[in-house]
Structure 1
Amino acid sequence: MARANDEVSALFQEYADLISITGGDAFRARVYEKAARAIGGHHADVSQLDVKGLQEIPGVGKSIAEKVIEYLGSGRVSAVEELRARIPAGVRRLTTIPSLGPRKALMLYEELGISSIDELADAIHEERLRDLKGFGPRTEEKLLHGIDLLRASGRRVLVDVATDLAEEVVAALSEVSGVQRCEYAGSLRRGRETIGDIDVLVTARRAGPVMRAFTELPYVSEVIAHGEKKTSVRTDRGLAVDLRVVPPDSWGAALLYFTGSKAHNIRVREIAVHQKLKLSEYGLFDAESGKKIVSRTEEDVYARLGLPWIPPTLREDRGEIEAGLRDELPDLVTEADVRGDLHTHTDLTDGLASLEDMVAAAAERGYAYYAITDHGPDLYMQRMTDERMLAQRERVHKLKAKRMRLLHGVELNIAPDGGVDWPEEFLDGFDLCVASVHSHFDQGRAALTRRLVRACENPYVNIIGHPTTRLIGKRPPIDADLDEVFAACARTGTALEINAHPDRLDLGDEHILRAKRHGVRFAIDSDAHAVPHLANLRHGVATAQRGWLTKDDVINTWTLTRLRRFLRKGRS
């Protein structure tokens, strides 16, 4: 089942959007936005809390707590239903278009009757928006680009949503009598950043009980197809799931086949053909006699073809076959290799948990070191000052974490000219500095490139955070000459972040591959703003694996001594 916190968070975010769309009080909308973030990031299950317990969540007052109780009891909130009734669903859908805010969405509906994305695209092409205040050619261009992003994402979901659902399905089916093995496959097993549907494989002697249990899972909303070998369902998470039951002695071949990618499978089958063999989801067979040779494990199949086992995250036909034949596959970084998290936030700025709670959660993960990196003052909405940052530093130094070294850092804002928030004498007091672009995304290519290169050249900037600034399906990456930026990072000893938050995963795998060729080092960070976000690190690791990274490439797998040398960045 979906986590109650996530359901309530989504409802309150929708309520905040509805308040904005209907011209309601902007402060009230922000209150519900903040409550949505706080509830979504809260560690305890809100369905187990009463009104008093709910009010202990930051940003949740009595009125909001009562709405949570109302939703948990009835599945609806009357105040939300009232606003929903006033606005067509299509108008709410318009607000999902990057660069189109609630007020402009309402204006489009009231002035032109536009209540769908297709109607908006038609109106732009017919130049019907140009008479509206605030809608010029540049706005039209941004809206069309936003529509393209939205359409490209289609029905795909972020990797964390797919992972949570897949793990629930696997856990449930693994308990069914007669099930011997159960695992998800497909693009999710390969660590792709967005997922269209989920493939689950089961080995069992009898398929009937497994298929029946699958269709009866509580989050299944529709059975699309029901068969002896394959059953497909839709779920209340917006994802379809395909279940295939295979004989135990076909497990390895089936797992390889349904993991993909298609391009990788074609290359593997070509190797089989050259050896007078035939590979399918049922096994590896002698092409002439039809006799099955191997199929029980993936390792068996690869080995018979003269290949080592290839990690799923590499299976994209990007050289992994050739590397395997040469016995040169990388020893990929794993989550167990990560010794610490170097980019996290607390409630001093835009985080949801206290310093103490974040540190305790990091210690439970077994880290050797952990960095607090709240925002600098140039993001004015965070209300940071020199005094507040120095006071936090004092708290960090006094806080004791068992077997874990605490680092006091900061996430600096890279200004349009490449400068950062504080002068060098103030920056010298931090253990590390992450620097990120948070505004002026539409600067020209040359200006954005200079901006990032200058940040790299700052002797106190250790890591460039979420380097392309993208939000998957919501905001495109900035237009900079990344190869020039990668070269600057390698030259100056500045690491590039692999931001593990599922809506960023920035850098993406293809950029990681390019940056590695320049000799860049990387940091896999959670950018956690709440305790549950620390677990997102797994998605960053998968992305790093897709970029062929080893633990030596990743600075937060290093010992603290080696890491500190890197963070000095050549300073005396």
Structure 2
Amino acid sequence: MARANDAVAALLQEYADLLTITGGEQFKSRVYEKAARAVGGLASDVASMDAGELRQIRGVGASIADKITEYLRDGHVAAVDALRLQVPSGVPELVRIPTLGPRRAVQLHDDLGVTSVDELRDAIVAGKLSGHRGFGERTAENILHGIELLERSHGRVLLSVATDAAEQVVEALRGVRGCRRCMWAGSLRRFRETVGDIDVLAAATRSGPLMDAFVRLPMVAEVLAGGPTKTSVRLVGDLQVDLRVVPLASWGAALQYFTGSKPHNVRIRAIAVRAGFKLSEYGLFRVDDGSLVASATEEEVYERLGLQWVPPPLREDRGEVEAARDHALPALVTAADIRGDLHTHTDLTDGVASLADMVAAARDRGYEYYAVTDHARNMPMQRMTDEKMLAQRRALRELESAGGPVLLHGTELNIGPDGELDWPDRFLAGFDLCVASVHSHFAQPAEQLTRRLIRACENPFVTILGHPTTRLIGKRAPVDADFDAVFAAAARTGTILEVNSFPDRLDLPDELILRAKRHGARFAINTDAHAPVHLDHLRYGIGTAQRAWLTAEDVVNTWPIARLRTLITAKRNPAPR
């Protein structure tokens, strides 16, 4: 169930896309894109704002505020409806394909007459794109891969979307009389990057009141199935939620049963069988006499099987069962370990909040240190200059003098097609740290992309390699690079690898973090925040890091500032070999 801000942001982004499709002014399209980011990153609920308050949002003028008001009042906007009618049939479906923008979607419709994703795929396979301006063989391959991504993500939502919905459901059910425990389980509790449906577990003596309250929730669009122990609904937005109610005495066994992946649970049940037990959602029972052995807590269930309790993000059958048997599971990094954020933005570039507002948000979180890393000058749309960056540094020092976290002035550099960076070393030396990221030329051959990333690691002033694969979940595939070579270079040069917490990135993903750790690399869990509310995305990066078995020692922004600075200085001044 999307909050009002997300629904409004989606509408504004759609309007921006429609302006592009219909040949509208690019400046106007960019204005609506910026307004979409501003509303999406707003902590306050736009549904509670009047027109005057809406106009106070950065990037939201009178015309946009009127459209927001119209949408919140009527459920649609006449101007958006009118533009939708101008768009050729089938083009909106084509626009949903990752790697295919609005203009190219229109071109394909006009040139080939395709009106659906299936028709476009057939046209590419038949070679009909060959010879068309701007559509070479590599472009055709990228579009086919985009179609794969679209189909693979069908019916799945981002971790953040599922979490928002689960929080609303659980909060409502916890208030029902007779509810003793309630929380979500399944892949959401394991912090999978996308979720197909949500499993909610509740404990109560009587299930009826909980089931009745569940189906009457305002975010429920349809009841799919109902019963005394399980009810399934479809929320507004098509996300399915299954509610299961168990006796309080069975809480731990049920939570274990409905949290683990299928392979993990198969392994646990096999251990139970070999020990003469039967494990179900109601408890761990002796086979010979049916007596209950454990059920109240997960810890108790694992302990009676001779296992260390396994944190939910690890329950994927990737070695955690063996480690639990040997009582050798690591102490995973937690949000409480994080001392600061090393990748954030302000409205000096593409953020939607001022420097002062972002610093105040970091202060409110109790951070020991906080880095501001706005984009550098090689991304023309950001309009960065040396003078603007130096002025921000002075402003940051003034804010730091007022107390609060140590403020680090950084920048997010763009890694160019050949691995070049935005500024020469003499200018980079003035920053406390530098994040370097790929923002363009994603389709380069693997060898070129690999060298490009390694060259960035080899620059002594690059502290962190930002969102290393560049992926956008469900929208853009990871770049094709030899990441083992990149990870080896990062470990060799002391370059920190980012675990980007933004929900549509989660980059590095857990599988690559595991590989990078084997090379000896260090990590930073950052939010890449563009608004104060984005600082809350940290939990998704933490969950991703936990899935990859990271400890606080592996993550440099759990370190005290003095130790972090020593690491940065050591890279800038490597010892002679």
| TM class by smaller structure | over 0.9
- Superposed displacement of residue 114, structure 1: 2.3
Secondary structure of 2:557's counterpart equals helix
> 1:234 — aligned with what?
234
Q: Deviations over 1:22-77 (max 9, x none)?
A: 22222222221111111111232222222222111121111111111111111111
- Answering whether residue 305 of structure 2 is matched by residue 324 of structure 1, we say no
Q: Percent identity?
A: 64
2:2–2:161 Cα contact (<8 Å) kept = no
- Superposed displacement of residue 123, structure 1: 2.1
CA distance in 1, matches of 2:533, 2:89: 31
Farther-moved stretch of structure 1 (116-125 vs 426-435): 116-125
- Superposed displacement of residue 134, structure 1: 3.1
1:335–1:537 Cα contact (<8 Å) kept = yes
CA distance in 1, matches of 2:133, 2:483: 36
How many correspondences in the alignment?
Answer: 572
Q: Deviations over 1:339-361 (max 9, x none)?
A: 00000000111111000000001
> 1:279 — aligned with what?
279
> 1:432 — aligned with what?
433
CA distance in 2, matches of 1:418, 1:100: 26
Q: Deviations over 1:411-437 (max 9, x none)?
A: 111122222111111111111111111
> 1:158 — aligned with what?
158
- Superposed displacement of residue 260, structure 1: 1.5
CA distance in 1, matches of 2:219, 2:128: 43
> 1:202 — aligned with what?
202
Query: RMSD value over aligned CA atoms?
Result: 1.4
> 1:558 — aligned with what?
559
- Superposed displacement of residue 133, structure 1: 3.6
> 2:270 — aligned with what?
270
> 2:188 — aligned with what?
188
CA distance in 2, matches of 1:397, 1:405: 10
CA distance in 2, matches of 1:454, 1:442: 18
- Superposed displacement of residue 88, structure 1: 5.9
> 2:107 — aligned with what?
107
> 2:31 — aligned with what?
31
Q: Deviations over 1:251-300 (max 9, x none)?
A: 11111111121110011111111101111111111112222211111011
- Answering whether residue 458 of structure 2 is matched by residue 449 of structure 1, we say no
Farther-moved stretch of structure 1 (30-39 vs 544-553): 30-39
CA distance in 2, matches of 1:484, 1:346: 33
Secondary structure of 2:279's counterpart equals strand
> 1:468 — aligned with what?
469
CA distance in 2, matches of 1:247, 1:43: 38
CA distance in 2, matches of 1:41, 1:154: 25
CA distance in 2, matches of 1:453, 1:407: 25
Farther-moved stretch of structure 1 (79-88 vs 164-173): 79-88
Q: Which segments of structure 1 move beyond 6 Å, counting only runs of 4 or more?
A: none
- Answering whether residue 509 of structure 2 is matched by residue 521 of structure 1, we say no
**Normalized against structure 2, the TM-score is what?**
0.97
> 2:479 — aligned with what?
478
CA distance in 1, matches of 2:571, 2:24: 54
Q: Deviations over 1:438-486 (max 9, x none)?
A: 1111222121111111111111111100011111111111111111111
Farther-moved stretch of structure 1 (43-52 vs 169-178): 43-52
- Superposed displacement of residue 138, structure 1: 2.8
Q: Deviations over 1:50-109 (max 9, x none)?
A: 222211112111111111111111111111111223336742121111221212222333
Structure 2 CA distance for partners of 1:571 and 1:91, relative to 1, 3 Å: closer
CA distance in 2, matches of 1:431, 1:565: 12
Structure 2 CA distance for partners of 1:488 and 1:91, relative to 1, 3 Å: same
- Superposed displacement of residue 364, structure 1: 0.7
Where in structure 2 are there 5+ consecutive unaligned residues? none
Q: Which amino acid aligns with 2:176?
A: V
CA distance in 1, matches of 2:107, 2:424: 44
Q: Deviations over 1:187-239 (max 9, x none)?
A: 00001000000000000111111111101111111111011111001111331
CA distance in 1, matches of 2:235, 2:243: 13
1:108–1:114 Cα contact (<8 Å) kept = yes
CA distance in 2, matches of 1:199, 1:431: 44
2:465–2:498 Cα contact (<8 Å) kept = yes
> 2:506 — aligned with what?
505
Q: Deviations over 1:379-421 (max 9, x none)?
A: 1211111111111100001113533111101111112222211
1:250–1:282 Cα contact (<8 Å) kept = yes
CA distance in 2, matches of 1:490, 1:129: 43
CA distance in 2, matches of 1:129, 1:218: 47
1:460–1:569 Cα contact (<8 Å) kept = no
- Answering whether residue 548 of structure 2 is matched by residue 547 of structure 1, we say yes
Secondary structure of 1:350's counterpart equals coil
Where in structure 1 are there 5+ consecutive unaligned residues? none
